[in-house]
Structure 1
Amino acid sequence: MKTKAVRLYKENDLRLEEFELPEITDEEILVEVISDSVCMSTYKTVILGKKHKRVPQDVDVHPIIIGHEFSGNIVQVGAKLKDQFKEGNKFALQPALNYKGSMWSPGYSYQYFGGDATYNVIPREVMELGCFLNYQGETYYEASLAEPMSCIIGAFHASYHTSMGSYEHRMGIVEGGKMALLAAAGPMGLGAIDYALHSDRRPALLVVTDVDAEKIARADMIFTAEEAKECGVELVFVNTQGIEDVPAHLRALTGNTGFDDVFVFTPIKQVAEQGDKILGRDGCLNFFAGPTDPSFGAEMNLYNVHYGSTHVMGTTGGNTSDLLESLKLTEEKIINPAVMVTHIGGLDAVAETVLNLPHIPGGKKLIYTHIAMELTAIDEFAEKGLTQPHFARLAEIVQRNKGLWCAEAESYLLKDWEV
């Protein structure tokens, strides 16, 4: 079986190539990849090359396929797995393998296993760990986006709180508490807003900050104060650009008690320090953003750590349980991961997209691996549609859906786009 894939050879060296996949063993599965969403972690992997902890040192000789947020169809099942998986079914994937202490993961470490490809070989350890999942959902993109959503869900579950005189850590955000999402009008922040409003444990106050007026306006359009109120949440968006004392402004929104749960969505020292300064007693700060600088640091108030029981943690990725929760909530239409997506493209757009990811505005970039399509912002569909009928049809579909990607748009793309 031949595959087309985007492979990493060294720092900033990505190549779209066609090559032969090996025959699967009795404990492997051959899959067809349909969709993959581009993660900032992939950009970090590409700019670091073999300096990245998950990238093999011989990547220049044995290049790896990039991409780890993917979904598709099962093509061929190894003899020992036929009682668990059926050819023709869809699949979802949890890429955080943690296999026997190894940091290897698809999109970082494997020659024949990664999301930016037309076909893949799923290695034995993925099934052994229960990370390869039968998927019954309607769309492929929702299964791709289950991975980033699982990272958000895992972060919410990992937040913890304590009581004086007790050594028990109460896991999860404070139900009915006060939550702040800092620098959170980007894709992961939007996913976090969605989950905070619609999960079974919600804050009473949710404050979302950013410095980009357009992003805040889009977030406010997707998540209205009225909808939040129906969920029992007071939702407040704050553009911190130009505010002289951001921590004081944000604390005032809590009645100066501070926040129970704070999530920082950007690796910027100033924002991390803002997060520390707005914590209330026993407040938990999750530094969610992953920096590329191994010496990155910020100041924190140790007086409050000692006397106010404030604490700081970080999470990276979710587990399989988190991914299953994401899939369940999506299938039940409780959350809508499409809020994260702002661009659509084909396999031919991957290399340029990844290499320039920090400079491309908007949210998640969703790739369909079997089509050729330049990376295109959803809000540019109508303009392109003036000369290209396919884009006009996509524009018509998404305009009926709050400007968001949806099942109908995916179906049209997969059936009617020119390959």
Structure 2
Amino acid sequence: MKTKAVRLYGVDDIRLEEFELPEIKDDEILVKIITDSICMSTYKTVKQGKNHKRVPNDVAENPIILGHEFSGDIVKVGKKWQDQFKPGQRFAQQPALNYKGSLASPGYSYKYFGGDCTYCIIPQEVMELGCLMVYEGDSYYSASLGEPMSCVIGGYHANYHTNKVNYNHEMGVKENGYLLILGGTGPMGLGAIDYAGAIEKKPKKVVVTDISNDRLNRAKQILSEESMKERGVELVYFNPNDYEDDEKALMDLTDGHGYDDVFIYAPVQALAEQGNRLLAFDGCMNIFAGPTDKNFSAMINLYDAHYTSTHIMGTTGGNNDDLLEALDLSSKGLVNPSLMVTHIGGLDSVADTTLHLPEIPGGKKLIYTQIEMPLTAIDDFEELGKDNELFKLLADSCKEHKGLWNSQAEQILLNYNN
């Protein structure tokens, strides 16, 4: 059958094309993609082309389908998996495969497997690893956003703390500790704030920094300090530009203790170095944001690493358990993936959006691959709705949900185009 897909050929060379998919093998599954959210990792991939570790060297001759945060419906199941999966089931998937040491992942490595398309073929290793999951939630976009949320969750789980008694590592952020998220009001940072209020072993204080008042104000509207207090976490939003000595002000927020956990949510050398200086005894700093520069580095205080047991690590992606946790928390209303989304578009908007992603303000750009629609900010729905029935319906729905994308809006969009 034919599919339309946005494919990578090389650096800054991505194309929306229609082509024929091969017949699936007995160990493969054909799926219809409904949603894919565009990740900054995809932008970095486009900027690196075949130099990216996950992209094949022959991508110019055998282009790959972009997109790895996707969901949709199962269409056809090969014989090997027919006892486990059925046509018509909705699915979520974990793209961090790690199959037999390979770095291959959807959105980076496969000719026929990725999210920015109408149909694709899921290869056998995905099912073998348990990375294809039946999803019974009420929206496709929640399943798509389960992937970025799983990355956030993976970062929380991977942080660790030690002791001098038995040297065991206690996994996770420190309970009742101080947590700092530097550069943290982007979509992933908002997910990290939301998750802090959902976990059982909560930090007592979460400090989130950003130099953009627009991003800080939006964060305060959708994740207010008051709402987080009701969930058992003291939340502080912090703009370093408001302080003559921002580092001292950050330290004062801990009464001089320092931060038990630090997440770097923007790949900026100055942030990494500042986060390192603000670590408490046995503090753990997670370089969460992936840099594009392979030589990205920063000055780290090794004296503190030796004498005060500070430690530095990084995480990328999540695992199956992280994704299952993300989907479960979302279905129970304990986290809200909608707060990540600021723009909606169709498959025809993917190439231009991806190429210019850093220049487009706001959070996640959510794509509905079965429709054509220019990338549109949710904040613009009301104005566009004055002359367009669809945007009026979408604007009314989002108003009912505190200005956020929601399952009702998704149904309106999908039904309107059928």
Which TM-score applies when normalising by structure 1?
0.98
Report the counterpart of residue 346 of structure 1 in structure 2. Answer: 346
Report the counterpart of residue 179 of structure 1 in structure 2. Answer: 179
Report the counterpart of residue 245 of structure 1 in structure 2. Answer: 245
| Distance in 2 of aligned mates of 1:21 and 1:261 | 47
Q: CA deviation at 1:245?
A: 2.3
- Counterpart of 2:358 in 1: which secondary structure? helix
For the 8 Å contact 1:206–1:233, the answer to whether it is kept is: yes
Structure-to-structure mapping, 1:383-402, within 5 angstroms: 383-402=383-402
Report the counterpart of residue 115 of structure 1 in structure 2. Answer: 115
Report the counterpart of residue 81 of structure 1 in structure 2. Answer: 81
4+ residue runs of structure 1 moved beyond 4 angstroms? none
| Partner amino acid, structure 2, of 1:162 | T
For the 8 Å contact 1:277–1:301, the answer to whether it is kept is: yes
Report the counterpart of residue 286 of structure 2 in structure 1. Answer: 286
Residues paired across the two proteins, number: 418
Q: CA deviation at 1:232?
A: 1.2
| CA deviation string 1:175-214 (max 9, x = no partner) | 1111011100100000000001112221111111101101
Unaligned runs of at least 5 residues, structure 1? none
| Distance in 1 of aligned mates of 2:166 and 2:267 | 33
| Distance in 2 of aligned mates of 1:137 and 1:82 | 22
Structure-to-structure mapping, 1:209-220, within 5 angstroms: 209-220=209-220
Structure-to-structure mapping, 1:13-162, within 5 angstroms: 13-162=13-162
For the 8 Å contact 1:182–1:265, the answer to whether it is kept is: yes
Report percent identity of matched pairs.
Answer: 59
Report the counterpart of residue 201 of structure 1 in structure 2. Answer: 201
| CA deviation string 1:382-409 (max 9, x = no partner) | 1111221211111111011111100000
For the 8 Å contact 1:153–1:318, the answer to whether it is kept is: yes
Does 1:332 find its partner at 2:315?
no
- Counterpart of 1:9 in 2: which secondary structure? strand
| Partner amino acid, structure 2, of 1:20 | E
- Counterpart of 2:98 in 1: which secondary structure? coil
| Distance in 2 of aligned mates of 1:35 and 1:201 | 33
| CA deviation string 1:334-378 (max 9, x = no partner) | 110111111000000000000000111110000000110000111
Which TM-score applies when normalising by structure 2?
0.99
| Distance in 2 of aligned mates of 1:225 and 1:191 | 15
Does 1:233 find its partner at 2:258?
no
For the 8 Å contact 1:9–1:59, the answer to whether it is kept is: yes
| Distance in 1 of aligned mates of 2:241 and 2:65 | 39
Does 1:264 find its partner at 2:264?
yes
Report the counterpart of residue 299 of structure 1 in structure 2. Answer: 299
For the 8 Å contact 1:246–1:274, the answer to whether it is kept is: no
| Distance in 2 of aligned mates of 1:2 and 1:259 | 53
Structure-to-structure mapping, 1:317-328, within 5 angstroms: 317-328=317-328
Q: CA deviation at 1:79?
A: 1.0
- Counterpart of 1:241 in 2: which secondary structure? helix
Deviates more, 1:244-253 or 1:310-319: 244-253
Report the counterpart of residue 6 of structure 1 in structure 2. Answer: 6
- Counterpart of 1:193 in 2: which secondary structure? helix
Q: CA deviation at 1:138?
A: 0.7
| Distance in 1 of aligned mates of 2:136 and 2:344 | 23
| Distance in 1 of aligned mates of 2:104 and 2:321 | 20
For the 8 Å contact 1:161–1:283, the answer to whether it is kept is: yes
| Distance in 2 of aligned mates of 1:225 and 1:2 | 49
Report the counterpart of residue 382 of structure 2 in structure 1. Answer: 382
Unaligned runs of at least 5 residues, structure 2? none
